[in-house]
Structure 1
Amino acid sequence: MNTKEQQTLLTIKKTLMQSHFQSVITQCSELLTAQTQSNVTDAALDETSKAGETGLSSDAQREALYLQAVAYRLSGNTQNAIATLDNVIALFPDYGRAFQELGYCYANIDGKKSAHSFYQATRFNPALLASWQQLEKVYKRDDQKQALTLCQQQIQFLTSLPKPLLGATDLMHEGQLHKAEQVCRQFLTNNKHHPEAMMLLAELGIQLKVYSDAEFLLESCVEMYPDNDRAAAAFQSLLSKLGKFPEAAALAKKRLALSPDNFTVQVSLAHALVGIGSLDEAIHIYQELLSANDDRPALWVALGHAYKAQGNMEQAVSAYQKSIAFAADFGDAYWSLANTKTYRFDEQTMAKMVEQESLASTKLDDKIHLCFALGKGFEDRKDAKTAFHYYSLGNALKKRTLQFDIRRTEVALDAQQKAFNAESFNKAKGCQAPDPIFIVGLPRAGSTLLEQILASHSMVDGTMELHDVLGIASSLSHKKTPYPFNVNELDDEACKALGQRYIDQTQAYRQGAPFFIDKMPNNFIHIGLIKKILPNAKIIDARRAPMDCCFSGFKQLFGEGQEFSYGQDDIGRYYVAYEALMTHWKSVLSGEILTVQHEDVLDDLEGQVKRILAFCDLPFEESCLSFYETKRVIKTPSSEQVRQPIYKTGMEQWKPFEEYLEELKQALSRLSS
């Protein structure tokens, strides 16, 4: 083996031993490509095979298998390369680079599979320039003009990026977020205020959940480059993600004034209008766009969501069905029907869903949505075995696309207990406004029902799941002393300012009543912060029987967040950590938190309503008992359930699935008695 060949093999060995593989993966692939001699590829296969047997981390295993596949292909063993890549994709279904390599493997075997593989590669990693270039050839050959235009636009964009930013973008899409951040920050050191670098760093901040930094970067980018619509679009998207829909809508209107016929901007404005509850205006925009071209499946789903939030279920269902008529594999449309909780699929639709889920050509995101919809469909048919198969598969696929570690969450919740004791609140002044009523807990625990009951009171405004507390917590997360330990360092003026900031930011969602509801379940984590900045706020803990709550979460595909819900052990441990933290809050905030058990509300509605109103210092009103008659915007999965009188069919829905839930039971066995 000559010196160059030895260097190639040495690079591969280093790759397999390092903790950040993606940073050198391209180099290794290029070296292997350049060195097609059998002695190099055989040696590479030997190294990658040994690496796969040595208990590598998940990321390391992924890269070792990928390199093994590259070596197989270059040694002429295409079938082994394909088998290895199929294994990689089964373990890591969103690994774009594996799909790209699969495209090369199929290039001389099956042109259709090759093109599909390159397409999948670009979906999971839009920075894979080589895949776009391969697709460009396909689109030219097949005279796919629209696809070719979009493809060439992406090629032009990627080739215009400085190489460090292209590399950082690649790293980001392959999950190497911290490495990508390092590369991006280093580039910005020498190229201050570079717009693409600022946008990329903001996107990394969003993925790392450092939202305050991302917001600052994008806001600054928009101010410095007012003509850069990509920056404005990214900023508007983040504002919507943070629940700042009034600001998102205002920005969308500014963009629309500059480009009144821009379809994407019109859609983004409609989405923001749904966020602030201006449903009629949003629906009008969706309808106008669909009247010009009705072959827009995603737009039909968005229209359906607006109708559903409005309480118009007949038109919502019709819109979702229209989406399916235009795209039989569009999983989101099927899941949207299932997620009404009241819709029942017919046999023909069920068969279509089973077929679409089984097709190799169905996109991963569509498969996930289809699995959850099929789980609901078979559960409605009392087929627990098949229903659980699809629920389990959907959760497994979704979980593989996430970088969630329950241990980090347990540490974060434990940190809240360590940061706050009874003394933390003895001198708390903060903002004295009594307006907010926080409803916290776990998702699917009955919080929407409590919100609907309280929103039926003449003195209480119902809003939605507000992100403002999470935003304030995020803004405190990068101080010298880390959050939550720095909250006790805030003086009275700082606490008062943060409390007032919360009151001001939430004003846009209120209708003039003296009190309003903030129903963001995850705010249970931040009760210490809430009571420091808003000491007069009321806090209600919506509690549901553990198995009911956890199983209901397990079979729910959430729009975003709630990453703990896609594994039985994760969701069980999360519930245990939640209960432990709530026990702590009650011990240090005696009498400040009301726990409302969902089952008690079902058994004694009037008694529990009176108890809740008394805690909130509100007089009793009969309208709270007929909560299902209250007309308001509701955007949670339970929207249709709380528009009906109390019923108990949701209790113990886990029972038919009991034999499959041992892992969940084991996790919950740690609950305090």
Structure 2
Amino acid sequence: MIDPATLFAELTIAFNQHAWAKAQALAVRLLPMAPRHPALHYMAGVAAMELQQMPKALAHLHQAADLDSGRVEFVTQFAKALTLGQMPREARLAADRAMALSPTDPATFDTLGVIYTQTHAHAEAAAAFRGAVALNPTHAPYHFNLATALLATGEIESARSTLETCIDIDPCYWKAHLTLAQQRRQSAEDNHIERLHSILKGRDADLKAQTYLHMALAKEYEDCGDYPTAFTHYTRGKSAAGAGRNYDIAQDEALFAAITAAFPAPQASPGGCPSDEPIFVIGMPRSGTTLVERIISSHPDVHSAGELLNFGLTLKRHSGSRTSPILDLDTVHRLQGPDWKKVGEDYLASTRPGTAHKPRFIDKLPHNFLNVGWIARALPNARIICLRRDPMDTCLSNFRQLFAAQSPQYGYSFDLLDTGRYYTLFDRLIAHWQRVLPGRILEMHYEALVDSQEASTRQLLEFCRLPWHDDCLRFEDNKAPVNTASVVQVRKPVYRTSLQRWKKYGAQLNELQELLNAAGIAIPS
């Protein structure tokens, strides 16, 4: 019989060498001998998490955190597993437990900062990242993560300074260059174009460098008014970012068709959960959803919960689907007979403790436009606001934006014409929702908000059944964190410079315009 101490030593070596399969096998052999050994559960849990075996990871890490609740790394990894297991409420509570244990390791602080970011607790994320930077001030990723948290909390100048520090430490930390370019309007006299070109030399084979540096150059050339050069860099950056993704618009066409077929006729209101807490703000990304969120959440009765995946995750659990995507054909086909009241209740519970501090909250996940029919069934008193924007500006803005690499929802955005095709699917789906759910959706045009801010704001508040409040006209003073691509813009008053931006690109957008025209989509003159 092999000595348990020898097995434990082998396990420790395998764990430290990140030999996860071996570590898991050794832990499985040892646990029957010591079923309440917290370190064994910890190493078994981390190994399972790295092997993407989330039920096992959660079970073991929960045990480790309970058996030795004073070990900050045990509680931190449990919080991480909860995040990966798509349980944001529980992850936030576990992260709070870990922070209360006063970490002394920069990697632990950084992990907690990421967990807080993913659970929309941006002030807490900034505090955690500051802890990581303080303990290891020469590690560029810690500075970058801190900068993103500072942007979310509105500390823009500090974020810029932190990004420059990140680049000073590691000029090849590519993401920092794009983030820095996006934080202010560059000028011909003050920009980073020369530095970006210099760093880009000799990086033809580095897709990440090509992605972030070309996108940064595109933004800075656009700010300087050189639109042809900007478009060239956007195209190169998006081509590099999309390399190897093999996106096929046919997959999205099939998904939209299945969703439409699931709601063939006008829907009677089911039982559902009667709460009127949620206000869903939906629409194509980059269409003004963040602006509307900031306007409404400036009301003292409204909390901004951010872009929550919670409704889709709740649907997924109730569907019984075991496929990987949150929403796919299998999930749609299985959503035939859930208890819709329970779906609504579970969704609301999943938003705690972030919500319930105020009477209403905003869930601003743009792609919830896919879920509108199910939202209407589960939450018949929820308000749904859909943002619309000039189709050409919407498509161009999606193409100009580098969305989160890990998100499966933005595959269309790496090609301008695919973006136009996806917009067509969106446009037809919203028209379908208006037919089968009459009166449930307020369509708000971004251009109307810009041209008639007060009248549009009154319309928004009336639709949400909220009394008038003057603070909603001063949304730029809203101190709530924001973590979207509009993080800088929404801290300024309404401005007109983004209206009909597409016309500045001229003939470079002719094919997109022809595609939209052929689909019968009206383009404002």
Report the CA distance between 1:381 and its aligned residue.
Answer: 1.2
Aligned to 2:360: 515
1:238-317 alignment runs, 5 A limit = 239-240=82-83, 244-252=87-95, 260-276=103-119, 278-317=121-160
Judge which range, 619-628 or 550-559, deviates more.
619-628
CA contact (8 A) 2:89 2:350 kept: no
Seen in structure 2, the aligned counterparts of structure 1 residues 302 and 343 have a Cα distance that, compared at 3 Å, is: farther
CA contact (8 A) 1:341 1:641 kept: no
Letter in 1 for 2:112: L
Deviations 1:261-312 (A, max 9, x none): 3332211112223445554443333333323332121111111112111111
Report the CA distance between 1:248 and its aligned residue.
Answer: 2.6
Q: Say which of 566, 570, 573 aligns to 2:418.
A: 570
1:338-487 alignment runs, 5 A limit = 338-342=181-185, 349-360=192-203, 363-422=206-265, 425-475=267-317, 476=319, 478=321, 482-487=330-335
Alpha-carbon distance between aligned partners in 2 of 1:290 and 1:367, rounded to the nearest angstrom: 28
Alpha-carbon distance between aligned partners in 1 of 2:222 and 2:238, rounded to the nearest angstrom: 16
Letter in 1 for 2:369: F
Alpha-carbon distance between aligned partners in 2 of 1:350 and 1:306, rounded to the nearest angstrom: 25
Aligned to 2:178: 335
Q: Say which of 438, 441, 451 aligns to 1:603.
A: 451
Deviations 1:185-241 (A, max 9, x none): xxxxxxxxx979954663xxxxxxxxxxx7545424535777999998777456446
Richer in helix (by share): 1
Letter in 2 for 1:654: W
Q: Say which of 395, 400, 404 aligns to 1:550.
A: 395
Seen in structure 2, the aligned counterparts of structure 1 residues 263 and 403 have a Cα distance that, compared at 3 Å, is: farther
Deviations 1:380-408 (A, max 9, x none): 11111221111101100111142422210
User: Given the alignment of the two structures, is residue 497 of structure 1 paired with residue 342 of structure 2, yes or no?
Assistant: yes
Seen in structure 2, the aligned counterparts of structure 1 residues 553 and 361 have a Cα distance that, compared at 3 Å, is: closer
Deviations 1:455-497 (A, max 9, x none): 011221112101101212332261799332333322xxx2111
CA contact (8 A) 1:301 1:320 kept: yes
CA contact (8 A) 2:177 2:216 kept: yes
Seen in structure 2, the aligned counterparts of structure 1 residues 318 and 591 have a Cα distance that, compared at 3 Å, is: same
Seen in structure 2, the aligned counterparts of structure 1 residues 464 and 610 have a Cα distance that, compared at 3 Å, is: same
Seen in structure 2, the aligned counterparts of structure 1 residues 548 and 505 have a Cα distance that, compared at 3 Å, is: same
CA contact (8 A) 1:477 1:484 kept: no
DSSP-derived class of the 1:488 partner: coil
Seen in structure 2, the aligned counterparts of structure 1 residues 236 and 355 have a Cα distance that, compared at 3 Å, is: farther
Letter in 1 for 2:307: E
DSSP-derived class of the 2:183 partner: coil
Seen in structure 2, the aligned counterparts of structure 1 residues 218 and 406 have a Cα distance that, compared at 3 Å, is: farther
The gaps in structure 2 that reach 5 residues or longer are: 1-13, 26-43, 324-328
Alpha-carbon distance between aligned partners in 2 of 1:361 and 1:668, rounded to the nearest angstrom: 34
CA contact (8 A) 2:73 2:108 kept: no
Seen in structure 2, the aligned counterparts of structure 1 residues 445 and 240 have a Cα distance that, compared at 3 Å, is: farther
Report the CA distance between 1:334 and its aligned residue.
Answer: 1.1
Deviations 1:404-454 (A, max 9, x none): 22210111011111001335x325111110110000011100000100110
1:31-430 alignment runs, 5 A limit = 157=19, 160=22, 199=49, 202=52, 216=55, 218-220=57-59, 222-223=61-62, 236-237=79-80, 239-240=82-83, 244-252=87-95, 260-276=103-119, 278-342=121-185, 349-360=192-203, 363-422=206-265, 425-430=267-272
DSSP-derived class of the 1:577 partner: helix
Aligned to 1:667: 515
CA contact (8 A) 2:72 2:101 kept: no
Normalising by structure 2, we get a TM-score of 0.82
Aligned to 2:38: none
The gaps in structure 1 that reach 5 residues or longer are: 1-151, 164-193, 203-213
Report the CA distance between 1:365 and its aligned residue.
Answer: 2.1
Letter in 1 for 2:395: C
CA contact (8 A) 2:20 2:47 kept: no
Judge which range, 255-264 or 607-616, deviates more.
255-264
Alpha-carbon distance between aligned partners in 1 of 2:452 and 2:296, rounded to the nearest angstrom: 16
Alpha-carbon distance between aligned partners in 2 of 1:242 and 1:497, rounded to the nearest angstrom: 21
Aligned to 1:535: 380
Report the CA distance between 1:642 and its aligned residue.
Answer: 1.6
Q: Say which of 484, 504, 507 aligns to 1:636.
A: 484
DSSP-derived class of the 1:647 partner: coil
Alpha-carbon distance between aligned partners in 2 of 1:154 and 1:549, rounded to the nearest angstrom: 48
Seen in structure 2, the aligned counterparts of structure 1 residues 156 and 470 have a Cα distance that, compared at 3 Å, is: closer
CA contact (8 A) 1:221 1:231 kept: no
Percent of matched pairs sharing the same residue? 29
DSSP-derived class of the 1:485 partner: helix
RMSD: 3.2
Seen in structure 2, the aligned counterparts of structure 1 residues 563 and 233 have a Cα distance that, compared at 3 Å, is: farther
Larger radius of gyration: 1
Alpha-carbon distance between aligned partners in 1 of 2:217 and 2:141, rounded to the nearest angstrom: 20
Aligned to 2:498: 650
DSSP-derived class of the 2:386 partner: strand
Q: Say which of 434, 437, 453 aligns to 1:589.
A: 437
Normalising by structure 1, we get a TM-score of 0.65
> Comparing both chains, which one has the higher relative contact order based on Cα–Cα distances under 8 Å and sequence gaps of 6 or more?
2
